């Protein structure tokens, strides 16, 4: 069974940032001589019922599953509950989901060591944990029934929440057996079902549990929190990254009706009011002067030029900055043969979640420190809150809510917007609930972008047109550098997807190096992280090489995957090619592009059908094949591939954050166009049958569409794409 968990960790690639987070905590905790979970749980009070921390069963037999992860759209409510329901043999229609409280001891991500959602690990890390929880609870019911009916436990069956004994004709629901079951000691290693016995997992019955609440306006987001005496705060933030408040005049702001206070905090000046509109009006009336002496001087254009120069070997590197090797084999320099060279540029990207960042915090008063917020990483939020509010992390309560999207934005080492809210709530004090509201402009200007990234490639080809030597340079900010969890060597999130690529495996000589400069622009993981650029570079390059070699892009890839032993890549590519009709001519005016990429343990292949309309690619049908191990909810896997594809296509066509002299230029959707309905493709999703443990689904659908579209454009026009987005505003 441990083998399963190990395989999960290996396959999901979750080891990357999650384990470093865990490691840093482990070393911190060792200093004080306790486990990290103990340290974080200090002060925590979570009542655990008879069926453990994940399951509650009511007197009427209804089952509640506690979700230790956030539900920010990726369907964890349904997927996690289905794992429990399967092993428990519960009645799926009577299973509901509640958010678990913050408690790292009970609810740590088993791949991270802390409570948090990311790296597409919600299902993979919970898979064995929740199967065991469900199976243990089931065993408690069969044990109780055997005792009550005086029949052999082995003869008892459970189906849809009803426990039965065929020979005696006895049966009872979970509710009737609840008392007896609660007194049974659950087995430490309960017997789990085999895949063949699954009746819920992998079926179309596993559908979302929150669609109705989200179609009626009832679903509760941070923005919607109402509490007795709640105040709303907005903050005047620095106009440039790195600028600090040097002074402010709040006389006019305080005159605005509804404004109750104006408070300086580390990140700016907060206006606290009785309503959102009053707070906004107050901020308009506030005058703040800024010390810009330490502000970031560069803009995105200069950064891009600098990166390109460094990659080309021009211009001296700043002190301490040096190239670091991420993949090397043989001697990639020199040699005979045709050479392909290219550079690729990717801009800063905002996550632009539909719900801008926000938080509700209470500090002081009798209730202790409490956050009411959509928390992607409760443990980080607890730690950062505790530091400001001067308390133990475990005693910071978090009521976790639905999030209006995250795509990575809500988890960062600083808990930036949470910390800002806690600073304000601390000054307001007395346990008064303070809701920090960011406008779209605040949200966009705050940074935490996907880093601007430059790639430079030189590929020497063998006589058959396959890569013989591959030199690859990447320049991008590290996501981890400067954080408490900075890795010793390279930050693999900057190059994942290039690093370990089957194309590298199939190439005799490889020289891959990365340069990670530091800038004043805060950067962060953005749905699919390194793959947001590496998948594009690898897959678009391969198509250009295939064309050069006069080979079909699918056949060319298959040959390389064969050499690399990439059997999962081969399987999804063949499936996507078959379902898309790759071998048949495309409809008139349409070209097809293909791409394959592995991320978060899953492999996705897509074939995109593209029409060039007024010089701009219009994407119609997208055929996707995914190998994500055991499929829990085929419908939600499809939903994630659909949504991930749109998110990736938005970045392919439109998204681009422009910075000038350290100031964010594009602060709302008028200046920062994103994908809209009329541009959204129709995605078909085919899931490769598998009994492997489940791997990631939330992110792997994002990075493949970009190169698939670029490859279709290449087929249509003969022109490659060396810079994203394709349509520059």
Q: What is the DSSP string of 7-62?
A: HHHHHH-THHHHHHHHHHHHHHHHHTTS-HHHHHHTT-----BTTBTTEEE-TTS-
**How far apart are CB 202 and another protein at their closest, in Å?**
16
Stretch that binds another protein, among 178-186, 377-385, 579-587, 646-654 (CB under 8 A): 646-654
Strand order in the sheet with 616-627: 591-599, 602-613, 616-627, 682-687
Site size with another protein, rule: CB under 8 A: 63
Per CB under 6 A, does 725 bind ligand FES?
Answer: no
Partner that binds at residue 195, options another protein, ligand FES, none, CB closer than 5 to 8 Å by kind? none
Per CB under 8 A, does 682 bind another protein?
Answer: yes
Partner that binds at residue 115, options another protein, ligand FES, none, CB closer than 5 to 8 Å by kind? none
Alpha helix (H) ranges present in 89-203? 104-107, 122-149, 174-182
Per CB under 6 A, does 354 bind ligand FES?
Answer: yes
Among residues 650, 652, 711, 721, the one that binds another protein under rule CB under 8 A: 650
Write b or e for each residue in 231-269: b if 16 or more Cβ atoms lie within 10 A of its Cβ, otherwise e: bbbbbbbbebbbbebeebebeebeebebbbbbbbbebbb
Per CB under 8 A, does 352 bind another protein?
Answer: yes
| Residue 624 backbone phi and psi in degrees, to 5 | -120, 140
Per CB under 8 A, does 354 bind another protein?
Answer: yes
Site track 381-420 with ligand FES (rule: CB under 6 A), x = hit: ------------------------x---------------
**How far apart are CB 216 and another protein at their closest, in Å?**
5
Q: Residue 535 or 554: which CB sits closer to another protein?
A: 535
Among residues 214, 244, 481, 574, the one that binds another protein under rule CB under 8 A: 214
Among residues 2, 216, 588, 718, the one that binds another protein under rule CB under 8 A: 216
Q: Which residue is nearest to ligand FES (CB)?
A: 354
**How far apart are CB 668 and another protein at their closest, in Å?**
6
| Rounded distance between C-alpha atoms, residue 41 and residue 37, angstroms | 6
Q: Residue 304 or 355: which CB sits closer to another protein?
A: 355
Size (the chain), residues: 729
Q: Residue 186 or 405: which CB sits closer to ligand FES?
A: 405
| Rounded distance between C-alpha atoms, residue 104 and residue 27, angstroms | 16
Angle at CA of residue 524, ends 619 and 268, nearest 5° = 120
Other beta carbons within 10 Å of 346: 24
> Which of 408, 360, 420 shows the shortest CA–CA distance to 222?
360
| Rounded distance between C-alpha atoms, residue 345 and residue 687, angstroms | 32
Q: Residue 406 or 685: which CB sits closer to ligand FES?
A: 406
| Rounded distance between C-alpha atoms, residue 699 and residue 403, angstroms | 17
Torsion of CA 669, 672, 677, 681, to 10 degrees: -160
Examine residue 623 and say whether the peptide bond preceding it is cis (omega within 30 degrees of 0). no
> Which of 618, 568, 640, 623 shows the shortest CA–CA distance to 597?
568
Residue where the block lists tokens 């100031």: 663
Q: Residue 72 or 174: which CB sits closer to another protein?
A: 72
C-beta of residue 310 within 8 angstroms of C-beta of residue 317? yes
Site track 426-455 with another protein (rule: CB under 8 A), x = hit: -----------x-xx---------------
Among residues 208, 472, 557, 654, the one that binds another protein under rule CB under 8 A: 208
Q: Residue 73 or 700: which CB sits closer to ligand FES?
A: 73
| Rounded distance between C-alpha atoms, residue 15 and residue 13, angstroms | 5
Partner that binds at residue 221, options ligand FES, another protein, none, CB closer than 5 to 8 Å by kind? another protein
> Which of 138, 162, 163, 143 shows the shortest CA–CA distance to 153?
143
Query: Quick one: which H or E segment has residue 279?
Result: helix 276-285
**How far apart are CB 184 and another protein at their closest, in Å?**
36
Q: Residue 383 or 646: which CB sits closer to another protein?
A: 646
- Mapped onto helix, strand or coil, the DSSP state of residue 296 is coil
Q: Which two tokens stand for residue 34?
A: 């306790």
Q: Residue 219 or 564: which CB sits closer to another protein?
A: 219
Angle between helices 567-580 and 553-564 (to 10 degrees): 160
Among residues 6, 60, 98, 218, the one that binds another protein under rule CB under 8 A: 218
Among residues 73, 202, 617, 644, the one that binds ligand FES under rule CB under 6 A: 73
Q: Residue 257 or 325: which CB sits closer to another protein?
A: 257
Site size with ligand FES, rule: CB under 6 A: 3
| Rounded distance between C-alpha atoms, residue 225 and residue 401, angstroms | 9
Please list, in sequence order, all residues whose beta carbon lies within 8 angstroms of the beta carbon of residue 450, skipping any fewer than 6 positions away. Answer: 346, 348, 349, 523, 524, 525, 526, 532
Among residues 33, 217, 550, 718, the one that binds another protein under rule CB under 8 A: 217
Q: Residue 210 or 462: which CB sits closer to another protein?
A: 210
Torsion of CA 371, 374, 380, 386, to 10 degrees: -10
Q: Residue 577 or 675: which CB sits closer to ligand FES?
A: 675
**How far apart are CB 73 and ligand FES at their closest, in Å?**
5
Stretch that binds another protein, among 49-57, 572-580, 644-652, 711-719 (CB under 8 A): 644-652
C-beta of residue 236 within 8 angstroms of C-beta of residue 288? yes
**How far apart are CB 458 and ligand FES at their closest, in Å?**
41
Q: Residue 509 or 637: which CB sits closer to another protein?
A: 637
Stretch that binds another protein, among 2-10, 99-107, 155-163, 206-214 (CB under 8 A): 206-214
Q: Looking only at residues 663 through 722 of this chain, which bind ligand FES when binding is defined by CB under 6 A? A: none
**How far apart are CB 405 and ligand FES at their closest, in Å?**
5
Partner that binds at residue 160, options another protein, ligand FES, none, CB closer than 5 to 8 Å by kind? none
| Rounded distance between C-alpha atoms, residue 702 and residue 579, angstroms | 20
**How far apart are CB 650 and another protein at their closest, in Å?**
8
Q: Residue 77 or 105: which CB sits closer to ligand FES?
A: 77
Partner that binds at residue 223, options another protein, ligand FES, none, CB closer than 5 to 8 Å by kind? another protein
Site track 276-315 with another protein (rule: CB under 8 A), x = hit: xx--------------------------------------
Q: Residue 262 or 444: which CB sits closer to ligand FES?
A: 444
Q: Residue 59 or 354: which CB sits closer to ligand FES?
A: 354
**How far apart are CB 698 and ligand FES at their closest, in Å?**
13
Q: Residue 351 or 557: which CB sits closer to ligand FES?
A: 351
Q: CA-CA distances (angstroms) from residue 194 to 72, 86, 391, 693?
A: 30, 11, 46, 12
Q: What is the DSSP string of 630-656?
A: S-S-HHHHHHHHHHHHHHHHHHHHT--
Residues forming contacts to ligand FES in the complex (CB under 6 A) are 73, 354, 405
Residues forming contacts to another protein in the complex (CB under 8 A) are 72-75, 207-208, 210-221, 223-224, 226, 232, 257, 275-277, 352-356, 402-407, 437, 439-440, 635-636, 639, 642-647, 649-650, 668-670, 674-678, 680-683
């Amino acid at each position: 069974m441990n083998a399963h968990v190990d395989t999960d960790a290996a396959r999901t690639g979750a080891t990357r940032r999650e384990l470093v987070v865990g490691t840093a905590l482990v070393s911190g905790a060792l200093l004080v001589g306790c486990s990290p979970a103990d340290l974080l749980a200090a002060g925590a009070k979570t009542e655990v019922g008879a069926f453990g921390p994940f399951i509650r069963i009511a007197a009427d037999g209804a089952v509640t599953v506690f979700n230790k992860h956030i539900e920010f759209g990726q369907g964890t409510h349904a997927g996690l509950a289905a794992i429990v329901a399967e092993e428990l043999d519960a009645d799926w229609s009577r299973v509901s989901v509640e958010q678990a409280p913050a408690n790292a001891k009970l609810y740590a991500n088993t791949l991270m060591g802390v409570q948090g959602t990311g790296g597409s690990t919600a299902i993979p890390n919970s898979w064995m944990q929740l199967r065991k929880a469900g199976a243990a609870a089931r065993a408690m019911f069969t044990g109780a029934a055997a005792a009550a009916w005086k029949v052999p436990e082995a003869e008892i069956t459970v189906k849809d929440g009803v426990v039965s004994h065929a020979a005696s004709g006895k049966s009872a629901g979970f509710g009737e057996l609840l008392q007896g079951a609660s007194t049974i000691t659950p087995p430490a290693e309960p017997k789990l079902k085999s895949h063949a016995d699954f009746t819920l997992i992998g079926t179309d019955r596993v559908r979302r549990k929150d669609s109705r609440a989200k179609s009626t306006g009832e679903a509760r987001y941070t923005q919607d929190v109402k509490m007795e005496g709640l105040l709303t705060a907005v903050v005047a933030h620095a106009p440039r990254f790195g600028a600090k408040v040097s002074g402010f005049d709040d006389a006019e702001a305080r005159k605005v009706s509804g404004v109750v206070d104006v408070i300086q905090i580390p990140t700016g000046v907060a206006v606290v009011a009785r309503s959102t509109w009053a707070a906004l009006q107050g901020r308009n009336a506030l005058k703040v002067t800024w010390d810009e002496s330490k502000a970031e001087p560069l803009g995105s254009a200069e950064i891009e030029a600098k990166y390109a120069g460094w990659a080309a070997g021009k211009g001296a590197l700043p002190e301490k900055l040096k190239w670091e090797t991420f993949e090397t084999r043989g001697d990639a320099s020199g040699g005979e043969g045709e050479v392909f060279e290219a550079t690729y540029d990717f801009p800063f990207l905002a996550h632009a979640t539909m719900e801008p960042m926000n938080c509700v915090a209470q500090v002081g008063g009798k209730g202790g420190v409490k956050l009411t917020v959509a928390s992607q990483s409760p443990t980080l939020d607890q730690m950062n809150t505790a530091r400001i509010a001067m308390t133990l992390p475990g005693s910071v309560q978090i009521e976790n809510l639905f999030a209006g999207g995250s795509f990575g934005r809500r988890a960062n080492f600083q808990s930036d917007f949470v910390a800002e809210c806690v600073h304000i709530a601390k000054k307001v004090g007395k346990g008064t609930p303070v809701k920090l509201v960011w406008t779209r402009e605040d949200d966009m200007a705050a940074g935490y972008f996907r880093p601007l990234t430059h790639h430079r490639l030189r590929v020497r080809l063998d006589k058959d047109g396959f890569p013989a030597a591959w030199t690859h340079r990447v320049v991008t900010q590290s996501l981890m550098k400067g954080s408490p969890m900075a890795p010793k060597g390279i930050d693999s999130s900057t190059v994942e997807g290039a690093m370990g690529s089957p194309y590298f495996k199939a190439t005799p000589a490889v020289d891959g190096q990365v340069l990670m400069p530091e800038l004043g622009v805060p950067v962060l993981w953005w749905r699919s992280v390194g793959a947001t650029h590496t998948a594009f570079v690898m897959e678009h390059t391969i198509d250009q090489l295939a064309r050069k070699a006069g080979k079909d892009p699918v056949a060319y890839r298959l040959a390389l995957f064969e050499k690399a032993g990439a059997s999962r890549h081969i399987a999804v590519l063949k499936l996507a090619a078959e379902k898309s009709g790759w071998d048949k001519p495309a409809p008139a005016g349409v070209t097809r592009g293909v791409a394959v990429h592995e991320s978060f343990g899953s492999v996705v292949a897509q074939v995109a059908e593209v029409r060039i309309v007024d010089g701009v690619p219009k994407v119609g049908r997208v055929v996707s094949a995914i190998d994500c191990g055991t499929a829990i909810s085929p419908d939600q896997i499809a939903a994630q591939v659909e949504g991930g594809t749109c998110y990736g296509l938005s970045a392919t066509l439109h998204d681009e954050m422009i910075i000038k002299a350290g100031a964010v230029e594009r602060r709302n959707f008028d200046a920062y166009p994103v994908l809209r309905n009329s541009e959204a493709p129709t995605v078909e999703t085919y899931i490769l049958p598998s009994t492997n443990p489940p791997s990631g689904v939330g992110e792997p659908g994002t990075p493949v569409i970009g190169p698939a579209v670029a490859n279709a454009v290449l087929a249509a026009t003969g022109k490659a794409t060396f810079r994203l987005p394709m349509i520059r505003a």
